[in-house]
Amino acid sequence: MLVDLHSHSTCSDGLLSPADLVERAVQRGVDMLALTDHDELAGLAAARDTAARWGLQLIDGVEVSVLWEDTTLHIVGLRIDAGHAPLVAGLADIRKGRAQRARRIADSLEAAGISGSLEGARRHARNPELVSRAHFARYLVEAGHARDTNAVFRNFLTPGKPGYVSHQWATLPDAVNWINGSGGVAVIAHPGRYPLNQQQCERLLSEFVELGGAAIEVVTGAHAPDEFVTWARYARRFGLRASAGSDFHGPGEGYRDLGNVPVLPAGCDPVWTDF
């Protein structure tokens, strides 16, 4: 069975509509797909309808932006209830903050001599409430400041570079409580991508377990294959289950296509066995 528990649509910073995303997953042989848009649930209804038509198992998901000890983390919620009021309200607050952050990103780029980026990023964003750094990155490519979006993130939009601003996202307890309160399971997305030393990483995992977090992504498009084993070991050590997903954003973007999700290393407890 082919499982992909992390993907994005045009409701956040993906390039395909929810329906097109699900159809691509079907074409690529995915049996179980989670749509996990950043801070947004608006794509789930259409994804569910299309999935039902094709016999694909759609998992209602979300990727919540969190600030933990000065580090931005992403917490994926799987099998969430899209009608759970605290989750819906919490995500709406995060989206409001994104609009303000987008202005500060544009000001920072302006100071580096790059103009028009707020309008440019907004043009790329299909959901006006959800302007992401990925939209700024697409504008910077379009305006000739980098060859592709990967190159953008080497020179812009990341800590220490023009266009990076720190931001107050949700807290870790809020994110886990919204997800768990809605009947879902909380998963730390791409744990290998955060600028945390080993000590901070262990503190994060203990705190996450304490709060009721369920799993970490062991296999993700953001991990190199040799990192799968490292995170499988962390999962076992902290009694966490393992998740797997491509983090697909669109054809030609990122490292893995939908369903290009290698099997978990031996000894992992897959988070989806009872889905």
Residues 29, 35, 36: CA angle, nearest 5 degrees: 135
150 binds ligand AMP (CB under 6 A): yes
Q: How far apart are CA 4 and CA 83, in angstroms?
A: 23
Q: Nearest distance from residue 128's CB to ligand AMP, in Å?
A: 14
Q: Nearest distance from residue 71's CB to Mn ion, in Å?
A: 13
149 binds ligand AMP (CB under 6 A): yes
Which of 25-33, 114-122, 149-157, 261-269 is the region at the interface with ligand AMP (rule: CB under 6 A)?
149-157
132 binds ligand AMP (CB under 6 A): yes
Nearer to ligand AMP, 136 or 231 (CB): 136
**Long-range contacts of the stretch 51-54 (C-beta < 8 A, 24+):** 51/22, 54/22, 54/23, 54/26
156 binds ligand AMP (CB under 6 A): no
Q: Nearest distance from residue 119's CB to ligand AMP, in Å?
A: 17
Nearer to ligand AMP, 153 or 272 (CB): 153
4 binds ligand AMP (CB under 6 A): no
Size of the site for ligand AMP (CB under 6 A): 10
Which of 18-26, 130-138, 202-210, 238-246 is the region at the interface with ligand AMP (rule: CB under 6 A)?
130-138
Nearer to Mn ion, 53 or 69 (CB): 69
Site for Mn ion, rule CB under 5 A: 13, 63, 74, 134, 189, 247
Task: Please identify which residue in 65, 117, 243, 246 interacts with ligand AMP, judged by CB under 6 A.
Answer: 65
Chain positions contacting ligand AMP, by CB under 6 A: 13, 38, 65, 132-134, 149-150, 153, 249
